[in-house]
Structure 1
């Protein structure tokens, strides 16, 4: 970066995505934001990691990863009740696999950048990503409801989810259809677009569903993820950017299933 203004702008642009990564990694907005804030503070105190990295964004994520690893990548084995199943599955995963998968798929870093962030060889980063896909998809199966008004996209999502071994409860095109479907067949996870057929909102639809069925994990698909990552209110832990890839969907669904608060998941 050639100026302090450029550096600040680059950090500001990267921060919403670091917060998304933190929440997906920890399964909790508050915990994820705590790590993101610590990484930001560390980077602003010492810019050498950013200036010595391939980009400021990579440097920021590298600082986050260093803090995450220094804390032991905590998985709380003492959990009981709703989060216990998710934590048991997390404790069985090979070290560093979830981080590599999230960085590669959801955050769309190239393998070289994933390796740089995690401070491993590129071949190791590739191995971790591939291993994560196998381990996570084999660990949990459940039911998924899709809220999407575009038929082609809905069919594509349904195909990906079904291929992962999950049961699709149905596809809703509007807010009212979504609420009715969730009440008729309660899903373990919701995969939702933001803008629906009748100009209703996928966010409003999921809020209505969560008021009746609290704790369901939700994955939002949007062309503008940064609009939901402002830090001004409660935000979704899982966001997929449009246009999405199959790997992004598979990664997000696997991650969300791990942090599902429902006890109906099978292992």
Structure 2
């Protein structure tokens, strides 16, 4: 297989990553070109122990990080939320949320071990929460899981306004106070449906929802619109942190509020 065959399919996605990382198309595309020129000059710059996509992104970040200005702390006056994240945490966030790398592959892209990557992801989550801290409704009938979710959410800087165990409790909680995010199980304590509760909530307000369930097949039917954010129980803490950050960071209603 030629180098073009190996790397060509990944270039559109690398450009997407580069533009998001740099904050504009011109700079992002220039770094992609620099990466390709480096490969043309010396194919050995691509790590052979990594699969092609990981190796390509790894080389790109080596070149990007070798430019001193890219490693400066954010000034605080960036035009986008991404620009306010510290450089390395921004990379970690984009690799997993936009480029859909698994944490182990994202760590390889960044040239760090798993523990360091987890720390960078946590930093990104905290930095994002400082921008989009919100009030969260948890719809979960298992007390231990609900407590874990509450601790995780508050650890990110958000506020839990209520923990609902049934469809009725969920609607009552929203009637009292509108949340900015909902974390919802599907099967609830009294046999009622968390999915029905969410649908009733979304009929009146527009907010991001993350389903956390042991029954993902009930949502992934392919027969109707499916949730953008779905976590399978038992969930990984780091995965849920990343998805919460993603849901809030890219939430259209939050963006409109910021622009208002």
TM-score, normalization by structure 2: 0.61
Q: Does residue 1:202 correspond to 2:161, yes or no?
A: no
Paired position in structure 2 for 1:67: 12
1:256: Cα distance to partner? 1.5
1:133: Cα distance to partner? 3.3
Between 1:215-224 and 1:253-262, the stretch displaced more is: 253-262
Deviation per residue, 1:79-118 (Å, 9 max, x gap) = xxxxxxxx932343345332334499x97x352x2245xx
In structure 2, the CA distance between the partners of 1:210 and 1:110, relative to structure 1 (3 Å rule), is closer
For 1:135-146, list aligned pairs within 5 A.
135-146=127-138
For 1:216-255, list aligned pairs within 5 A.
216-225=207-216, 227-255=218-246
1:243: Cα distance to partner? 0.6
Q: Which 5+ residue runs of structure 2 have no aligned equivalent?
A: 25-78
**Greater radius of gyration (CA):** 2
- Paired residues of 2:93 and 2:242 also in contact (CA < 8 A): no
Distance between the aligned counterparts of 1:173 and 1:161, measured in 2?
17
1:228: Cα distance to partner? 2.8
- Paired residues of 1:223 and 1:241 also in contact (CA < 8 A): yes
For 1:158-177, list aligned pairs within 5 A.
158-177=150-169
- Paired residues of 2:96 and 2:103 also in contact (CA < 8 A): no
SS at match of 1:96: helix
RMSD: 3.5
Q: Does residue 1:96 correspond to 2:91, yes or no?
A: yes
Deviation per residue, 1:114-160 (Å, 9 max, x gap) = 245xx442459827535423432333211000000111111111121
SS at match of 2:80: helix
TM-score, normalization by structure 1: 0.59
Deviation per residue, 1:25-57 (Å, 9 max, x gap) = xxxxxxxxxxxxxxxxxxxxx7x67xxxxxxxx
Structure ranking higher on relative contact order (CA contacts 8 Å, 6+ apart): 1
Q: Which 5+ residue runs of structure 1 have no aligned equivalent?
A: 1-45, 50-61, 78-86
1:210: Cα distance to partner? 0.7
Equivalent residues, number: 191
In structure 2, the CA distance between the partners of 1:103 and 1:259, relative to structure 1 (3 Å rule), is closer
- Paired residues of 2:138 and 2:183 also in contact (CA < 8 A): yes
